[in-house]
Structure 1
Amino acid sequence: MAGHSKWANIKHKKAATDAKRGKVWTRLIKEITVAARMGGADVDANPRLRLAVDKAADANMPKENVTRAVQRGSGSLEGANYEEVRYEGYGIGGAAIIVDCMTDNRVRTVAEVRHAFNKHGGNMGTEGSVAFMFQHCGQLLFAPGVDEDRLMEAALEAGADDVIADDEGGFEVLCDPFAFAAVKDALDKAGFKAEVAEIIMKPATETVIGGDDGIKMQKILDALENLDDVQEVYTNVLIEE
C-alpha cells in the first residue's frame, strides 16, 4: 500500500531506538531482571532470559550491566522488585492497544497509563477487552532478497508454524513462543539473520489509518511508549506515512 512500508517502518523504529538508547537499556535491564527471577540465571536453560540478553547485545549494552541485572534477578544482588502488568485500551476509532509494563509501583503505573490514554483521545479498557484480538507468538522478519524456498524449508524444519511473504518481497516467520529460541537458532545456523526477532502480541487483523486520525493515534502510542514503566506497546493499526 502506498505510503506504508514495513521495511521503512523497521528502519525508522531502529533509528528511534538508537536515539533513546538510555531508555532501551533501562527496559532491557528490567526484562533481564524479571526473566532471571522467574526462570533462573542460566541463559541456556532460560529462553526468555536468553532473548533479553541477545537484545541487550544488539543494543550495545555493556556486559557488566547485563551481569548485574541477572544477579539482581537471581537474588545475589539487591534491587527493585519489578512485576509484570498489562493494560488494555482503545485508540482512535476504537483501535485496540495493549500496554505491557514492568513496575515496582502499580498505583503510579496505572495512573500514568490512564493519563496517556485520556490526554490524547483514547481510553483504557478492562482486562481482556482487546487481548482476544491478538496472538502471543514468536516473530522473525527477514528483509527482501532472502531465498524463499530455503527459508521456508529451514523454518518449518525448525518447528515454525508459518512463513508469510509480503508484497515487498520480505518474509515473516511465526512460531509458538516456547519454540522461538530453537527456531531462531536453527535459522541463524542456516545463514538467515532476522531484521527483527521478538516474542510479540500479533494482531489477528490490521487496519491502515492516515491523515489526522493517524497523527492522533501516533500521539497516543508515543505517549504510552515514553512512560518509564512501559516495556512494549502493541496495536492493531498501521499508521500510513
Structure 2
Amino acid sequence: MAGHSKWANIQHRKGRQDDKRGKVWTRVIREIMVAARLGGGDLDTNPRLRLAVEKAKAANMPADNVKRNIDKATGNLEGVHYEEIRYEGYGIGGAAILVDCMTDNRVRTVAEVRHVFAKHGGHMGAEGSVVFQFKHCGQLIFAPGTPEEKVMEVALEAGADDVISHDDGAIEVLTPFAEFEVVKHALEAAGLKPELAEVTMRADNTIELTGDEAQKMQKLLDVLEDLDDTQEVFHNTSLSE
C-alpha cells in the first residue's frame, strides 16, 4: 500500500462519493434487499444486513424505507429480484479492477460493463483473473494525529489482524470480515472514531499512476461507478494528478 498517499487518497475518494449522493440510496436499498434475501430479515442474526442498515442510517434513509425493502426481500411484499455478480478486468497500466454489481438483468449489465472497459482504455478479464490480488476484510482508517498506541492496543485486543501506520500519519486497521463490527465498536467505545470504516476488497499491493495515466484511470473508475447496476468498484492503484 502506498503509505505516503493513504490519507490523500481517502479524502479524494470521500469527496468524489459526496458528489454522487443521489445514487447512494439506490445502492443501499439493493444491498439491504440482497442481504435480507440471503440471510433473513433479523438484524441480530444477519451481520451483512446490519452493515447495510448502518449504511442506510449514515445516508439518512428513513426507517420506513429500510423496513419496506427488508419486507420485499423476505417475501412479505412484492419486489424486484436482484442477483449479485462480480466482473474482473484491467485498467490503465494493467491495473486490477473489480466491479461488484446487483442486477435484475445479467445480459444488460455485462454488456454495459464490457463497453465501459473497452471505451476507456481497459478490458474485461476472465473470472479469477485479478480477484486473487485482493483480500476481503474489514478496514478502518484513522486521521493523522490519532494516538497510534491506543489504536493498536484496542484493535488487536478486539480481534484485528493488523494495524498499519502510513507515512502520512494515517492509521489503518485491518480485521477479518467476521470481526469487523466487534473491532469497530471497541474502537468507538474507546473514543477512537474512524474516518472510514467498511468491509472491502483491499488490494494486497498497489501501483502508482500519475499524470495522464492517473486521469485516464480515474475516468474509467468514474464511469464504472456511475453504471446503474454498480454497487462497488475496487482497484489496486494510487492516483496522483
Question: How high is the TM-score relative to the length of structure 1?
Answer: 0.95
2:131 is the counterpart of 1:131: yes
Partner of 1:50 in structure 2?
50
Deviation at 1:77, TM superposition (A): 1.4
Q: Residue 207 in 1 paired to residue 202 in 2?
A: no
CA distance in 2, matches of 1:146, 1:188: 13
Counterpart Cα distance in 2 of 1:191 and 1:48? 25
- In the TM superposition, 1:21-100 aligns within 5 A as 21-100=21-100
Which amino acid in 2 is paired with 1:84?
Answer: E
Shift of 1:211: 1.1
1:188 is displaced (CA, Å) by 1.6
- Report the secondary structure of 1:44's partner residue: coil
> Structure 1 153/140 Cα, relative in aligned 2: closer, same or farther at 3 Å?
same
Kindly report the root-mean-square deviation, in angstroms, between the aligned alpha carbons of the 2 structures: 1.4
TM-score (norm 2): 0.95
Query: What is the distance in 1 between the residues matched to 2:237 and 2:18?
Result: 24
Residue matched to 1:142: 142
The 2-side partners of 1:72 and 1:21 are apart by 24
**Which structure 2 segments of 5+ residues have no match?**
none
**Greater mean alpha carbon deviation, residues 154-163 or residues 36-45:** 36-45
Report the AA paired with residue 212 of structure 1: D
Structure 2 distance, partners of 1:21, 1:181, is 24
How many percent identity over aligned positions? 64
* CA drift at 1:12: 3.2
Question: What do the CA deviations read for 1:40-76 (whole angstroms, capped 9, x no partner)?
Answer: 1121221111111111111122222211121112221
The reply to whether residue 10 of structure 1 matches residue 44 of structure 2 is no
- Give 2:164's aligned residue: 164
| Residue matched to 1:227 | 227
Asked whether the equivalents of residues 137 and 177 of structure 2 are also in contact (C-alpha less than 8 Å), the reply is: yes
Amino acid at match of 1:44: D
The residue number in structure 1 matching 2:176 is: 176
Whole-Å separation in 2 of the counterparts to 1:46 and 1:83? 18
Mind listing any 5+ residue stretches in structure 1 that lack a counterpart? Answer: none
Give the number of aligned pairs.
Answer: 239
Match of 1:190 in 2: 190
Give the Cα separation in 2 of the matches to 1:132 and 1:62: 38
Deviations 1:24-44 (A, max 9, x none): 110000001111111111212
For 2:239, the aligned partner's letter is: I
Partner of 2:120: 120
CA shift for structure 1 position 174: 0.4
Name the CA distance, whole Å, in 1 between partners of 2:118 and 2:83: 24
Aligned partner of residue 221 in structure 1, secondary structure: helix
Q: Distance in 2 between matches of 1:9 and 1:65?
A: 32
SS at match of 1:101: strand
- Partners of 1:143 and 1:42 in 2: CA distance: 34
1:5 CA drift (Å): 3.6
Return the alpha-carbon distance in structure 2 between the equivalents of residues 16 and 219 of structure 1.
12
The alpha carbon displacement at 1:7 in A equals 2.7
Instruction: Report the counterpart of residue 236 of structure 2 in structure 1.
Output: 236
